[in-house]
Structure 1
Amino acid sequence: MIILHVIPTVNPEFGGPIEGIFISAPVLREQGCNREIVSLDAPGDPWVKNCPLPVYPLGIQSRSYARWRKRIPFFSNYGYTPHFVPWLKENARKYDAIIVNGLWSYSAMGAARALAKGDTPYFVYPHGMLDPYFNKIKPVKRVIKQFLWWISEGRLLAHANGVFFVTEEELLLAKNAFWPFRCRGRVVAYGTQDIKGDPVVQIEAFRAACPSLGNRKFILYLSRIHPKKGCDLLIDAFAKVAHKDPEIDLVIAGPDSVGWVKKLQAAAEAAGIGNRIHWPGMLKGDLKWGAFRGSEAFVLPSHQENFGIVIAEAMACGKPVLTTDKVNTWREVVASGAGIVEPDDLAGLTRLLDQFLDLSPEEKAAMGQRARQGFVEKFDISTMGPQLIEAIRCSGKAA
């Protein structure tokens, strides 16, 4: 089986969707499933050259076009390219199935135009982009999205052979996002690869890359640094409980996607905890796994999160998970006994950290062990990957 993934970009900083494609590729290849990607990236983009899978970048390679896009707020991230629809129409039949990843970009509109009446079965992963949270915080964009729903996204989902939601929570939330809502929706679990490498070497590599931390204990945040992620409330909550354990620090790692770090650092200084928060930037490879393995716990204080692949990665490393009930995998965390879940406000995040700090070393270790077991049962891609292949084959059209 050969699957084509349609996605706006193969840039790793795009987040979970493209990372999930990369991580699951070796496992699915072992199952007889090879994958290729078509994206809206320009051919000269650096992340295209480093893509580990065959990729067809159909974006416009033009400096003047790039400057023009930046002048128009909505189109700056939409990614229009005249090459996309003709290419997809011409090449769709080469694939056993096509998976469209994400909505609200030209990759979704173009896929609707090219695939809705075609012969190749296609499927859609909304990746949390139908969560009503976004309509609440950006009501103007909701109007634009409703219009797009009528002309492209709604049509894309209605004609798809299947729409895959990674959790039951995501499926339930999506039904109230836009009208009319018609699709063949089902839950197809998402996962990640188990962790490899030498833990000691990885931890040493991370601490060497974050010298301000020294040998101190720490709670880890690792994700994009963005208001949606609740980093500001995490700092405020940590300031309230930091006195309970003077030996533990907070590491906030990840790319600064909106230029927010300086403001957060100022808030930490004002709260008197600036020297107890460390900012190593985006971590990859052994540095990333060393951060996970060396932490006391992983915290994700998001106001909205569809899957949160970092939660699965933390559980794979046997680390307790501290998160909110706005992360759609929170039920899996609770069911596994893998961590603590609270609301996504200051009071909730303060309780989250407070409860964890009150645990004994033995209780923390037991929670970590349950987290590891929960990963094996619920998020290991070696188990979840075949489910995706079976879901596609069950359409009755894919080979």
Structure 2
Amino acid sequence: MKIIHYIPSIDRIAGGTSTYMQVLGKELGKLAEVHIITHSSDNPLPISNCEIHNVSVYNPINGRFKNEVSKLFDVIKPDLVHVNCCWMPACAFVQQMAQKRNIKVVLTPHGMLEPWIIKRHYWTRKLLALLLYQKAAIQNADCLQATAESEKENLLKLGYNSNIKIVKLGIDAESITMKTFWKKNKQLLFLSRVHVKKGINYLIEAADILREELQGYKIVVAGEGDADYVASLKQQIIDNGLQDIIQLIGGVYGDKKWELFQTSDFFVLPTHSENFGLAIAESLASGTPVITTVGTPWNDLNTSNAGAWIEIGTQPLVDTLRRFLSLSDEDLETMGKNGRKLIETKYSAKVMAEEMMEVYQSIV
């Protein structure tokens, strides 16, 4: 089978969507001929077992994007096109081009159709996009991929398309080294895109309440984001006098990222909404327990004793951080090993690729 994936970016700063493509592509490329159409960037992630095609940025006026994608369709002759992401006209345009050629299309929203995301900028951006192209793209897709039951339920509530298949995301756990000691390092980690939906403000507010218990601790906030928003977080930290506790260190990649996972006592992602949360999986694979919210599909954290899956907001985070700060080294080790086992048994990249192939075969 020949498969084309379109994804707006595979740059490292794109976060989870890029990592998803990297992980899926490596395993999917062992099962089919996979081509990835994207756009050039400064730091693209390497993706093995796939052929990557960089095309011009979408511009409805000059037609260069259309011509380049059309040529690739004609040369590759794909059996299926898989579109990743929403709200960008290029995604809907690639889908239209494929379906005009009677090529089946799978659409993966990557959490971009979750209620919290749709409500954000709804009247100024989302409504117009829905009217112009996004609603039609969702309705016309031959299949929507959800990554969790909760995302499927939210997609069904939209009422645009009921042909939804759940394929849970996975990671390449074999390539991730698990920590070998769990002695407290008095370091807590947030590592993700720095964005308002990630709930970093809750972490700052919780640290303010727990400043006495956090004396001697360091909360590392790693990630890139909009400069104005990053500046507002820094000001919030200063206003609360938390400069000695919370450090915003910018984006980290490669060995530095894995070092942070392995040297942190636990990982915190107090997010409003995630369709998966690859950083959660990476932390668990590293043997580091996780605190995250019901805005993610990670209820496994509670059932497997690998962390905590909590309500969204400051007070639930305060209560949970207080409990985690009192855990022994042995408690952290037990939770860390449980997390690694959870990833190995339920969130394998190989299983994800095999399940995705089953979806493709069911609609082609």
The alignment's TM-score, normalised by the length of structure 1, stands at 0.81
What is the DSSP-based 3-state SS (H/G/I as helix, E as strand, rest coil) of the residue aligned with 2:228? Answer: coil
* Cα distance change, pair 249–302 in 1 and its aligned pair in 2 (3 A): same
Matched residues in 2 for 1:236 and 1:299: separation? 14
Q: Aligned equivalents of 1:251 and 1:321: distance in 2?
A: 14
Shift of 1:25: 2.6
Counterparts of 2:45 and 2:282, CA distance in 1: 26
% identical equivalent positions: 25
**Alpha-carbon deviations, 1:222-279, whole Å to 9, x = none?**
0111111111221110222242253321110011334333332232233232112223
Q: Please list, as runs of the form range in 1=range in 2, the aligned pairs for 1:211-250 lying within 5 A after superposition.
A: 216-250=185-219
The yes-or-no answer on 1:46 pairing with 2:42 is yes
The answer (yes or no) to whether the contact 1:300–1:323 under 8 Å persists in 2 is yes
Q: Which residue of structure 2 aligns with residue 22 of structure 1?
A: 22
Residues 216 and 362 of structure 1: CA distance in aligned 2, closer, same or farther (over 3 Å): closer
Following TM superposition, by how much is the alpha carbon of 1:96 offset from its aligned partner in structure 2, in angstroms? 3.0
Find the counterpart in structure 2 of residue 165 from structure 1: 146
Give the distance between the partners of 1:172 and 1:51, measured in 2 at CA. Answer: 31
* Pair 1:394-2:362 in alignment: yes
Written as runs of structure 1 = structure 2, the 5 A alignment for 1:277-296 is: 277-296=246-265
Match of 1:120 among 84, 103, 126: 103
| Paired AA for residue 9 in structure 1 | S
- Name which of 149, 172, 183 aligns with 1:193: 172
Q: Give the equivalent residue in structure 1 for 2:36.
A: 37
State the aligned residue count.
357
> Which residue is equivalent to 2:293?
324
Alignment of 1:14-163 (within 5 A): 14-29=14-29, 31-39=30-38, 41=39, 45-47=41-43, 54-60=51-57, 80=60, 82-92=63-73, 94-140=77-123, 141-148=125-132, 152-163=133-144
1:35 maps to a residue whose letter is V
Does the 8 Å contact 2:207/2:214 carry over to 1?
Answer: no
Q: Which residue matches 1:302? A: 271
Counterpart-to-counterpart distance in 1, 2:362 and 2:100:
20
C-alpha distance in 1, partners of 2:277/2:95? 27
Structure 2 residue 360 is matched with structure 1 residue 363 = no
Report the counterpart of residue 228 of structure 2 in structure 1. Answer: 259
Question: In angstroms, what is the RMSD of aligned CA positions?
Answer: 2.6
Q: CA shift at 1:313, angstroms? A: 0.6
Judge conservation of contact 1:199–1:290 (CA < 8 Å) in 2. no
Unaligned runs of 5+ residues in structure 2 are: none
Work out the CA distance in 1 between the residues paired with 2:129 and 2:227: 22
Aligned counterpart, 1:378: 346
Q: Is the 8 A contact 1:116 1:155 kept in 2?
A: no
SS at match of 1:394: helix
SS in 2 for 1:330: coil
